[in-house]
Amino acid sequence: MSTVAIYVRLSQDRDGTKDSVRRQEADCRALAKARGWKVSEVYRDRDASAYNGKGRAGFDRMLEAVAAGDVSGVVAWKVDRLGRRTADVVSLVDRLRKVGGFVATCDGLDSSTPTGKAVVQVAAIFAEMESDNTSARTRRAKLQTAREGRPSGGGRRPFGYKVGGMELEPSEADLIRQAAADVLAGRSLRSIVRDWNARGVRTAEGNAWVSSGLRRILTGTRIAGLRGYHGDVLGPAAWPAIVTETEHERLTSLLRDPSRRTSKPGARRYLLTGFLRCGRCGEPLVAAPGPRGRTYACRSQARGAGCGGVRMKAEPLDEIITETVLQLLDSKEFAQARRSLRRSEPGADLVRQLRDDEAALEQLARDHYVDRRIGRAQFLAAHDALEARIAEIDRKLAAVSSASVVQSLPGSGAELRARWGAGDLDWRRSVIDAVIEKVVVKPIGRGKRSGPDRLEVAWRA
């Protein structure tokens, strides 16, 4: 009497249309009984793809039993239950052949004969072909769904939306709107996340927030009412937007700005880190604590790339620049410039230009790769020009987003200073960054005292 293993697998069991594991096992046991085979064990895999091989612990254990000679045959409901890749089925048949074994299926296939072995392999080829066709149909269906602006279905509930993703969750949508406004006004993601977690706000999965999670939401196309697909924007989505497209473009340009990401610990621990330059060699000044208090100093060549010839106490320098910035923001000239900027939507024209250039880039690729209307040299010249223009627009959008920090500030006087006093370090730095390009700290002259005369402020246009 031959000893066989039964293998059953269910790739999907969600809508009741697939044959159940229970039915597969019953049919396999009936076949074994009719052929006089003894069933040693039933190996099961549920919701595992036979194509990619992921999650097939039962199949792997069965192979070990075959290699050990514990079974002389494998019974399956159909060949495609064993694997939709021909190589997997052929490998199983060869392993069984080496120990004098066979594969048999409930629809009549049996590899114990030369003809049966060939039929099993042919069936495996057709199973693999059908799997490829199914995958292609699935990809086409997903693309069509995306083109129609509909959600793909399933998956997690998106934060800001109700289950299904077609209706707003009002309280969460309000949080996203406020977060977007706060980021455009200079607030850091870290500060927003810290506040949300302290207030008990949780992600759609019920977890605490981290900056990267909030970044993904604010840079994702969903909150702008756009349908994305594999990194491309296909058009308007069927669900409502939380922010405008212009706001979203400004957020994306700002949050994807590499300068916002600090890989060095403590890179932004001090107010003026990154703004100060040595008046002698032009290298950045670095902040460091010392026995007489914190200083900003140019590092010597032994410790860095600088000359080591300029240093200034940090506290008075911070105070001088803070007062200089507040006086600018409180000036009549600045108030007039701010009013003129508010009369138009910042960045709207840039966003339209960006959309046009991205569409032109896509059309250029079709003209060259698909329709063969233009040659390689012409394609590369136009492609490089468009890429350079898109990069410049991204830079301008980031500048608009940075400048919008000051738009959220109170008008003037004591209210302005109170807002500065209440702001955290990241917010204060963003305000400085919106108006100052750099501050050059000159060496102190012989017999002179350190003070504002040592500083040259380069204002942003």
Identify the weakest region by mean pLDDT among 11-25, 178-192, 402-416: 11-25
Per the structure block, which two tokens stand in for 79? 């060949």
Q: What is the largest CA-CA distance in the chain?
A: 109
What's the mean pLDDT in 130-135? 59
Are 132 and 56 in a shared domain?
A: yes
Are 338 and 447 in a shared domain?
A: yes
Sign, CA torsion 79/81/82/86: positive
Is the predicted pLDDT of residue 37 greater than 80, yes or no? yes
Are 179 and 129 in a shared domain?
A: no
What one-letter code names the amino acid at 175?
L
With contact defined as beta carbons under 8 Å apart, do 288 and 314 qualify?
no
In a domain, 449, yes or no: yes
Residues 340, 341, 344: CA angle, nearest 5 degrees: 100
The CATH number of the domain where 94 resides is what?
3.40.50.1390
Is the predicted pLDDT of residue 41 greater than 90, yes or no? yes
Are 365 and 431 in a shared domain?
A: no
Is the predicted pLDDT of residue 293 greater than 80, yes or no? yes
Is the predicted pLDDT of residue 29 greater than 60, yes or no? yes
Residue 263, pLDDT score? 42
Identify the weakest region by mean pLDDT among 202-211, 286-295, 312-321, 374-383: 286-295
Q: Is beta strand 311-313 parallel, antiparallel or unpaired with respect to 436-441?
A: unpaired
Among the residues of 112-242, which ranges form H helices?
Answer: 114-147, 170-184, 189-198, 211-219
Residue 32, pLDDT score? 94
Residue 266, pLDDT score? 42
Q: Is beta strand 311-313 parallel, antiparallel or unpaired with respect to 295-297?
A: antiparallel
For residues 143 and 140, what is the distance between their CA atoms, to the nearest angstrom?
A: 5
Are 244 and 386 in a shared domain?
A: no
Is the predicted pLDDT of residue 443 greater than 50, yes or no? yes
In a domain, 161, yes or no: no
Looking at per-residue pLDDT, the higher value among 20 and 124 belongs to 20
**What is the share, in percent, of the chain residues with pLDDT greater than 90?**
30
For residues 286 and 295, what is the distance between their CA atoms, to the nearest angstrom?
A: 8
Identify the weakest region by mean pLDDT among 117-126, 283-292, 386-395, 439-448: 117-126
Q: Give the confidence band of 200 by pLDDT, cuts at 50, 70, 90.
A: very high
Are 20 and 36 in a shared domain?
A: yes
In a domain, 408, yes or no: no
Are 14 and 103 in a shared domain?
A: yes
In a domain, 160, yes or no: no
For residues 397 and 358, what is the distance between their CA atoms, to the nearest angstrom?
A: 15
The CATH number of the domain where 177 resides is what?
3.90.1750.20
**What is the share, in percent, of the chain residues with pLDDT greater than 70?**
77
**Contacts of the segment 315-318: beta carbons below 8 A, 24+ positions apart:** 316/450, 316/451, 317/272, 317/276, 317/441, 317/455, 318/270, 318/271, 318/272
Top-confidence range, 208-222, 278-292, 390-404 = 208-222
Residue 16, pLDDT score? 45
Are 385 and 421 in a shared domain?
A: no
Smallest CA-to-CA distance from 404 within 349, 459, 317, 344 is with: 344
In a domain, 203, yes or no: yes
Looking at per-residue pLDDT, the higher value among 308 and 343 belongs to 308
Are 28 and 137 in a shared domain?
A: yes
In a domain, 155, yes or no: no
Among 234, 260, 286, residue at a domain's last position = 260
Are 40 and 105 in a shared domain?
A: yes
Among 243, 260, 277, residue at a domain's last position = 260
Among 260, 282, 306, residue at a domain's last position = 260
Is the predicted pLDDT of residue 51 greater than 50, yes or no? no
In a domain, 164, yes or no: no
Is the predicted pLDDT of residue 44 greater than 60, yes or no? yes
Domain containing residue 290:
266-344+415-461
Residue 131, pLDDT score? 55
Looking at per-residue pLDDT, the higher value among 427 and 186 belongs to 427
Is the predicted pLDDT of residue 343 greater than 60, yes or no? no
Q: Give me the number of domains the chain comprises.
A: 4
